């Protein structure tokens, strides 16, 4: 509010003049102070920073435009395993897509235009930018900073409450966009199966009948290939997230919070980027594969934020990201 001199309380001129700014992400028209500068105010609908910069919406983005080669390679290896598709279909028939939906309807908060409207607006932004039909979005009380996408014919996205509490609006958009990327890149069937394997790998669930069904239907080779693909699939979806946020540092800072947790506000972002570049020098795929096998036992699904930042930096520096952004 404009400061008033004493004695001019009823002076109409004390009210700052306003102008209208259209949100580059969601299209909502917002009234802002006439002297407002980019990033100084947030949109009333999606809560993202207002800016006069252009936000690209992709007319016909293909998954092959951005999918990481490591993802394509691992997926091809996975699909080449004899019987994998029928085994997965059988698994999902038993566990049931409907059961997944009912579980979340019963236990998590469904995001709608009225319930958490800013999250609904962010989902809409991610979907219109990448060209994906809107899935259902849920928020679940869970302190672990994470999100996931599941289902097959009708995918759903679930955000943990810990994630929304920890991330700012742009970072939350990045996470939602990453999840929408899983739908755009047609990951959901394999992702849902991989998540089931991971879920029953945790001790409390290992005794459930589903753990036996998974072992019965999926061979160790299939399970191993699914999990090996799963982490590479993350690299593609980080690229999808970048195509929505259109700022590599939003992805970098989101990863920094995933890596550093509550200490993130004290972590130096430039040093974090330096660490990501150093990581690339010592990159050893075989070692990562071994480490990944151990990590599964700890119940982590989105490991290696430093590796993921290093991959995003490389993609930007390769010029491929700019090429996609410049394509009409
Ligand atoms: Zn907006
Ligand atoms: Zn993911």
pLDDT of residue 121: 98
Q: Which CATH class is domain 63-235?
A: alpha beta
DSSP bridge partners of 148 = 158
Q: Residue 148 Cα, ligand 2 centroid: separation in angstroms? A: 6
pLDDT of residue 12: 52
**CA-based torsion, 215, 217, 223, 229: positive or negative:** negative
Q: Are 32 and 55 in contact (CB under 8 A)?
A: no
Tokens in use for 271? 């040093």
**Ligand closest in space to the Cα of 49:** 1
pLDDT of residue 293: 58
pLDDT in tens, 23-45: 999 999 999 998 888 888 999 99
> Where are the domains positioned within the chain?
16-54, 63-235
Compute the half-sphere exposure of residue 78: CA atoms within 13 Å on the CB side of its CA.
28
Q: Which residues contact 209 (CB under 8 A, 6 or more apart)?
A: none
Q: Give the whole-number percent of the chain exceeding pLDDT 70.
A: 83
| Nearest alpha carbon to residue 101 among 137, 56, 63 | 137
Q: Residue 107 Cα, ligand 2 centroid: separation in angstroms? A: 22
pLDDT at 302 over 60: no
Q: Residue 179 Cα, ligand 2 centroid: separation in angstroms? A: 6
Beta-carbon count within 10 A of 51 CB: 17
> What backbone torsions phi and psi does residue 21 show, to the nearest 5 degrees?
-125, 130
pLDDT in tens, 226-261: 888 888 899 999 999 999 999 999 999 998 887 776
> What backbone torsions phi and psi does residue 78 show, to the nearest 5 degrees?
-65, -45
| Average pLDDT taken over every residue of the chain | 84
Q: Are 156 and 150 in contact (CB under 8 A)?
A: yes
pLDDT of residue 44: 96
Locus of tokens 């970072």: 171
The span from the CA of 220 to the CA of 215, in Å, is 8
pLDDT at 141 over 90: no
Active-site residue list: 179
Q: Residue 161 Cα, ligand 1 centroid: separation in angstroms? A: 22
Alpha helices in 158-284 (DSSP H): 161-166, 169-184, 188-201, 203-206, 209-217, 220-245, 248-260, 269-281
pLDDT of residue 7: 45
pLDDT of residue 113: 97
pLDDT in tens, 147-197: 888 887 789 999 999 889 889 999 999 999 999 999 999 998 888 888 877
């Amino acid at each position: 509010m404009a400061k008033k001199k004493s004695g001019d309380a009823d002076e109409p001129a004390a009210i700052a003049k306003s102008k209208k700014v259209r949100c580059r992400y969601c299209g909502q028209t917002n009234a802002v102070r006439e002297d407002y500068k980019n990033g100084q105010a947030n949109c009333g609908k999606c809560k993202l920073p207002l800016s006069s910069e252009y936000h690209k919406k992709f007319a016909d983005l293909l998954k092959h435009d951005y999918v990481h080669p490591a993802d394509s390679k691992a997926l091809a290896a996975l699909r080449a395993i004899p019987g994998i598709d029928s085994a997965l279909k059988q698994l999902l028939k038993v566990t049931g897509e409907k059961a997944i939906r009912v579980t979340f309807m019963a236990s998590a908060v469904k995001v709608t235009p009225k319930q958490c409207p800013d999250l609904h607006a962010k989902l809409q932004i991610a979907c219109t930018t990448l060209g994906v039909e809107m899935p259902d979005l849920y928020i679940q009380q869970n302190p672990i900073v994470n999100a996931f996408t599941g289902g097959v014919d009708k995918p759903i996205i679930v955000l943990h409450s810990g994630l929304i509490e920890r991330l700012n609006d742009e970072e939350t958009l990045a996470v939602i966009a990453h999840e929408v990327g899983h739908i755009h890149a047609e990951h959901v069937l394999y992702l849902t199966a991989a998540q089931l394997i991971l879920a029953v790998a945790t001790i409390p669930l290992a005794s459930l009948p589903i753990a036996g069904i998974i072992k019965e239907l999926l061979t160790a080779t299939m399970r191993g290939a699914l999990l090996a693909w799963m982490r590479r699939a993350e690299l593609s979806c980080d690229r999808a997230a970048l195509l929505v946020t259109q700022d590599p540092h939003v992805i970098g800072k989101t990863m920094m919070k995933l890596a550093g947790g509550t200490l993130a506000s004290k972590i130096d972002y430039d040093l974090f980027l330096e660490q990501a570049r150093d990581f690339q020098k010592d990159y050893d795929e075989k070692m990562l594969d071994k480490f990944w096998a151990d990590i599964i036992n700890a119940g982590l699904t989105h490991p290696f934020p430093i590796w993921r930042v290093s991959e995003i930096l490389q993609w930007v520096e390769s010029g491929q990201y700019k090429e996609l952004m410049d394509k009409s």
